[in-house]
Structure 1
Amino acid sequence: MSDLNISENITKFRKEKNLTIKELATLAGVTPSLLSQIEKGSANPSLNTLKQISKALDVQLFNFFIQDVSSENLVVRHNNRKKMIFPETDNFTYELLTPNSNSTIEFMLMKIPPGLSSSDQLFSHKGEEVAYVSKGSVNIYLMNEIITLTPGDSVMIPPHVNHKWENISELECEILFAVTPPSF
């Protein structure tokens, strides 16, 4: 439980309410000794005890399980993106726009050089995908159709649907896409 910072969150909420350990313990129906141990992280509270403390603090129980995340860990600078470059296909690239693939969604930038495709064969993945063409013209082979997309067009690709991308312009194509759950 200490990995979740439950003890730190309880302490934070108690101090926001200007309560002493003894006062909160009385309101929650627990001993001051137990509450002190919980706040120090040396005792793991039962779910019932957490419910009592949350009621006494007038905060939702889930708030004890929320971890603060540094905003710097949420930002991906343009020069620090994780990239997958495929030199055998004239530098076809994927750039990860989300900090990592540990979230429930993944946001990527795909760059396809002129005349190239994302793959030789149609492929599918378990995630649902939404793509937006920001530069160039591209054909998407989607199921049994070929659909031409130009800048500003977008497409939703259901999970497990075969598809591939083909740059049909003389410019590098850029396609922004989000996949959930992440597949890279």
Structure 2
Amino acid sequence: MQGFDVGARLRQLRNARGLSQRELAKRAGVTNSTISLVEQNSVSPSVSSLKKILDALPVSISAFFAGDELSQPRPFYPADELTEIGDGHLSWRLVAARRPDRSMSIIHERYPPGADTGEEMLEHEGEEGGVVISGTVEITVNGEAAVLGAGDAYYFDSRLPHRFRNVGETECVIVSANTPPTFSDGGQELHHA
């Protein structure tokens, strides 16, 4: 996410909707200082925290990072054209972020040692699955945890509370998909308190 100004983009979207920091904080269920610190780029929010704030706008994670313009559908996407939707620590690169009427999300995920999706469990409509390419990751789904390594896979109902955490010594790489693309595209996402 090098060079992307998270604070300026959040401020732009908040102002475009005529919301004060206080009002956005109230809608998102976070403190006023959280919004202020994110807008000043003083803190880098976790994926789950940023998702909670964006859901209150509402704006999707892919629109937040990709901008609102759509592109023509095409079959191939070079690595440097994948849209970064991670939190600056972990990397989630979304395939075809600007494609109109996209009915699934395919994400190339990279978790450095110790990285996780945040203290809050994620919950959103749909199903998701993936394959661990390298490293290890602990995935918790609805209270059940497993550590997966290269070649291992997962598939679950995304409405169940879930979290990903790299518990290994090396970077973990996953290629995942979810449908419908509710996590990256907004919708009826819920957050587990």
In which range does the TM-score fall when normalised by the shorter chain?
0.5 to 0.7
Match of 1:104 in 2: 103
Aligned to 1:165: 164
| Aligned match of 2:143 | 144
Residue matched to 1:75: 76
RCO higher in 1 or 2 (8 Å CA, sep ≥ 6)? 2
TM-score, length of structure 1 as denominator length = 0.56
Determine what percentage of the aligned residue pairs are the same residue: 23
Per-residue deviation at 1:99?
A: 5.2
Shift in alpha-carbon separation, 1:74–1:84, aligned structure 2, 3 A: same
User: For residues 85 and 99 of structure 1, do their structure 2 counterparts lie closer, same or farther at Cα, with a shift above 3 Å needed?
Assistant: closer
Larger radius of gyration: 1
Corresponding residue for 2:131? 132
Q: With the length of structure 2 as denominator, give the TM-score of the two structures.
A: 0.53
Please list, as runs of the form range in 1=range in 2, the aligned pairs for 1:1-184 lying within 5 A after superposition.
Answer: 73-87=74-88, 91-98=89-96, 100=98, 102-183=101-182, 184=184
CA separation in 1, counterparts of 2:96 and 2:172?
Answer: 20
SS of equivalent residue, structure 1 residue 116 = coil
> 2:165 corresponds to which letter in structure 1?
E
Tell whether the 8 Å contact from 1:74 to 1:99 is kept in structure 2 after alignment.
no
Return the offset for 1:84: 1.9
- Runs of 5+ consecutive residues of structure 2 not aligned to the other structure: 1-71, 185-193
Moved over 2 A (4+): 97-102
Q: Helix, strand or coil: the match of 1:161?
A: coil
Greater fraction of residues in helix: 1
Q: Distance between the aligned counterparts of 2:102 and 2:181, measured in 1? A: 7
